[in-house]
A and B are shown apart, each in its own frame.
Chain A
Amino acid sequence: MTLTTERPTTAEPGLDAIAEAIAAAAPAPALAPEEEVKSRDLVLIWYSGDLEKTWASLILATTAAASGVNTKVFITFWGLQAFVKDEVRVTGETWMQKMLSLMQRPGMSHRKLSKMNFLGMGPWMMGVLAKKYGVAKPTELLEAAQALGVEFMPCQMTMDMFGLKREDMIDGLGEPVGAATVIDLLNNGASSLFI
């Protein structure tokens, strides 16, 4: 079958006039001139601690910041474990908090895949593939995100529940906040991503 852009010859003559009338009534929105590019806001809600989602969050956050978007990242639940210093092995005060950190090693370099982790075989293979295809590692992307001015806001509630202390966390994080801060940003027109 051949696709053609030619006007079908069977069209009724009146259609042209109708099309013109519609075009006149609803002109196509003109693209905003370059000077009118506004600074916009993005809130990325970083919920997951899984390697693949960590990667996606970092790629989107860095790209948003690189595109002139005022980018804030609210780090909550398992996401916070990625922002614990790599060298911190055990976090928390109570035995349960400590157990959680032992069961799932914190730190950006110790993320596990949600599927096909295979005792670290999966993440190792992801690392090899990333290197081969020039994909930046999560630690490199985090560095880029901080250099581009992405603002990281840890969730106060999760910090408390996991017993995470400020000194357990990497440098450059903002003050811990709660959900109301996120909702306020959304109410003020920020776009959002939940990962």
Chain B
Amino acid sequence: MDTLETMTEPEIGARVDARGLSCPMPIVKTAQAIKTVASGALVEVLATDPGSLKDFTAWCRSTGNELVEQAADGTVYRFVIRRK
């Protein structure tokens, strides 16, 4: 987990720790978190649900938010999303 913490970028406005949570909570928590940041700001999500790989792409397509980055570190997935 240490490596994930050091990977964080300064401009990230909100973080969602959805590790250990199943569908739909990673998406629900992200939808709530993204409302707390300004348009153009970034939200970082950590998740362990393998379904989230497809789900975050789909969710960004539905909402118009931009999936800036997605990476996997072992079983933890990291998504960076820019609010539209």
**Residues of A participating in the B interface, judged by any CB pair closer than 8 Å:** 34-35, 37, 59, 62-63, 65-69, 133-136, 141, 144, 147-148
Contacts and interface: CB of A to CB of B under 8 A. Distances in A.
A59 B32 CA distance: 15
Contacts of A63: 23-24, 27-28
15 contacts: A34-B84, A35-B64, A35-B84, A37-B62, A37-B84, A63-B24, A65-B31, A66-B31, A66-B59, A133-B22, A134-B22, A135-B22, A136-B22, A136-B25, A148-B31
A68 B28 contact: no
Interface residues of B, number: 18
A147 B63 CA distance: 18
B48 to A, nearest CB: 8
3 cross-chain pairs, A with B, having the tightest CB-CB distances, nearest first: A66-B31, A37-B64, A67-B62
Nearest to A33: B64
A59 B63 contact: no
Contacts of B23: 59, 63, 135
